[in-house]
Chain A
Amino acid sequence: MIKIQDLNINLKEFKLRNICLSVEKNEFFILMGPTGAGKTVLLEAIAGLIPLASGRILIGEREITRLPPEKRGISIVYQDFALFPHLTVLENITYGLRFHRIEKIQAEKRLDRLLEVLNLFNLKERLPVNLSGGEKQRVALARALMVEPKVLLLDEPLSALDPNFREEVRGALKSLHQSSNTTFLMVTHDFVEVLSLAGRAAVMNKGHIEQTGQVKEIFEKPASPFVADFVGMKNLFKASFNETYAMVSGLKIEIGRIVDPSSHYVAVRPEDIVISREKFSSSMRNNYSGIITQINNQGFYYEIAVQIKDVSFKGLITKGSLIELGLEEGIPVYVSFKASAVHVF
């Protein structure tokens, strides 16, 4: 549906380099990346709001690289809602209709459906200034979808909302996506949103795409140390490789397979690490003893740092396990993980 070929952008603050991306029709695709990675710039380039230095953008079979934004059939929803402050909710939502040839009956049907799905019936006559954040974002969504765009671009649509509104708008996004033919392309750095909404995703860093793929694949098999760090692979170490094991600062880690000789790093997700007081007897190939150096409360979980020789591993456990195991800083524990949990780049 969306095809981006060798796109380059040179702005004063941002540069995008050789962006290639393709998104299928009616897909929910998510762009992730740290602040300053160029995600918003990429969205605005797709919408035609930023000039390209080179490259092509296609929607379906049609090249839109040189089309002005109003001819692209691409709607955009911003983090700060960007509602027209001088128009009521209803006027905001129907703003785009006058520029499209849509039959009246059809338009009314669509309006009713959007008002219903987004629960906006009672707010029709209000001005944006009198709406809550969640309400504003629902209006922005309705306005963007009212013109039935081929593509809907969402620039961190939930990050300015309070947590309870966030869940509500996220739900609305999901049902709107499922009930429409529109392709959704969303920028976020919230993993909950990625895991609950997206089919496929891409990770951006410093103006280029690091990895594209199924969400599961990105989280489980990061293609670069940057992606690994970004998706929360806390235990990322530089390593040298020998047959089926890796050496990390003198620590031998069993990988159970021959790896690509150009690899330089190993990583283990903290949730794949088992911490125990007794030596763990199982099929896990990697077992070490170490000392707890730090316990961090992370809300629902505790992050435990264990020093093994010169390497510090981080594992996650629940509060229940923390109490049951009687873990404290300074006590000796065993750390185990499977060979298959070791990722290599």
Chain B
Amino acid sequence: MRIMKREPFFWISISCGLVIMAFILLPLIEMMTAPSLSMLKETIQDKDVVRSIWLSIYTAGLAALISFVLGTPLAYLLARTSFRGKRLVESIIDLPIAIPHPVVGIAILSVAGKNHWIGQILSELGIRIMGSVTGIITVLTLVGIPFYLNATKAGFEGISPRLEKVSRSLGASMSSTFFRITFPLAWRSMLIGLIMCSARAISEFGAVVIVAYHPMIAPVMIYERFEAYGLKYSQPVAVWLVSISLLLFLLLRILTSGNRKET
């Protein structure tokens, strides 16, 4: 069989693709393989490291959970209705993606401070944002929620409204219809949204470092070690953070796939 002659365009596309792959993978692989096993072992025995990785993971998880609870109804509303100003709402949702991350932190502090009425109410309730876990979760939710909203909205939009109409006509209320039809069909998109949201939250540095240097999340710790001791000491923490979060995401996907007749 003769192989068709390819145009130069084809080879240009392939070359560009290879460059991008190398660009992403080379530094990552280099970093992941740089620390020796003994260093990795030593690092994970360090209580501070374990504490900061755990803090990173559970604050990101909580940010995803908050996005899920607060964001799902809004995502559904945006997918199913059209109203004046919908574009505006959608661009507001995308704002946290677009603005520089330290600015997000500064913005949060400016409403949570003593000079703002919200800050005053919070302090009366005994809630502290500056330098607290609450503050970290607040910031992570703000930077993560757009990813959840967009993925989930797209999921809802992919479900024909007619399925919901038929369900209603067969006697199901709005809420029964949501839980029996819409949710089972959209949960995959919601899961992807949750993963994107928490992945984004785990990787956040700029906003967190403004609001809470301590308690120290893993990215802040990696930065601190880099500043104080150099590349070599920051790498093992980074490797552990990346490995553990990848493993968690993988686990989440495995646990939630293949248990129901999907085609």
Contact = CB atoms under 8 A, between A and B. Distances in A.
A127 B166 contact: no
A226 B173 CA distance: 41
Most central of B163, B171, B184 by chain A CB within 10 Å: B171
B170 A95 contact: yes
Given A70-B172, A99-B176, A147-B171, A86 B184 contact: yes
Interface string A72-84: 1011101010101
Contacts of A70: 168-173
B114 interface: no
B261 interface: yes
Interface in B175-215: 176, 180-181, 184-185
Nearest to B171: A99
Contact of A99 (B165, B172, B174, B181): B172
Contacts of B163: 82, 84
A183 to B, nearest CB: 15
Nearest to A149: B169
B79 to A, nearest CB: 17
Contacts of B261: 86, 88, 127
A76 B165 contact: yes
Contacts of A86: 184-185, 260-262
Interface in A39-78: 44, 47-49, 68-70, 72, 74-76, 78
Contacts of B170: 70, 75, 95-96, 99, 143-144, 147
A77 to B, nearest CB: 8
Contacts of A72: 169
A96 B171 contact: yes
Size category, B interface: 20 to 34
Nearest to B159: A85
Interface in B234-263: 260-263
Contacts of A49: 165, 168-169
B263 A127 contact: yes
Interface residues of A, number: 29
B167 interface: yes
A99 B180 CA distance: 12
Contacts of B263: 127, 129-130
A47 B171 contact: no
B165 A47 contact: yes
B176 A78 contact: no
B162 interface: yes
Interface string B98-121: 000000000000000000000000
Which label, helix, strand, loop or mixed, suits the secondary structure of the B interface? helix
Contacts of A147: 170-171
A104 interface: no
Contacts of B181: 84
Nearest to B260: A86
A194 B162 CA distance: 25
B170 to A, nearest CB: 3
Contact of A44 (B165, B176, B260): B165
Contacts of A44: 165
Nearest to A86: B184
B184 to A, nearest CB: 5
Contacts of B260: 86
B38 interface: no
Contact of A85 (B172, B173, B176, B185): B185
B45 interface: no
Most central of A47, A69, A72 by chain B CB within 10 Å: A69
Given A127-B261, A143-B170, A69 B165 contact: yes
A100 B169 CA distance: 12
A88 B170 CA distance: 17
B36 interface: no
B160 interface: yes
A288 B126 CA distance: 100
Interface in A107-136: 127, 129-130
A68 B167 contact: no
Nearest to B160: A82
A46 to B, nearest CB: 10
Most central of A72, A76, A80, A149 by chain B CB within 10 Å: A76
A78 B171 contact: no
Nearest to A155: B162
B172 A82 contact: no
B120 to A, nearest CB: 44
Contacts of A127: 261, 263
A72 B173 CA distance: 12
Contacts of B176: 99
Nearest to A73: B171
Nearest to B187: A86
B165 A82 contact: yes
Interface of B: 160, 162-163, 165-174, 176, 180-181, 184-185, 260-263
6 contacts: A69-B169, A75-B170, A76-B165, A78-B166, A84-B181, A95-B172
Which 10 residue pairs of A and B lie closest in terms of their CB atoms, listed nearest first? A99-B171, A96-B170, A69-B168, A82-B162, A76-B169, A82-B166, A70-B171, A49-B165, A129-B263, A86-B184
Given A68-B168, A127-B263, A144-B169, 16 more contacts: A44-B165, A47-B169, A70-B169, A70-B171, A75-B169, A80-B162, A86-B260, A86-B261, A95-B180, A96-B170, A96-B172, A99-B171, A130-B263, A143-B170, A144-B166, A144-B170
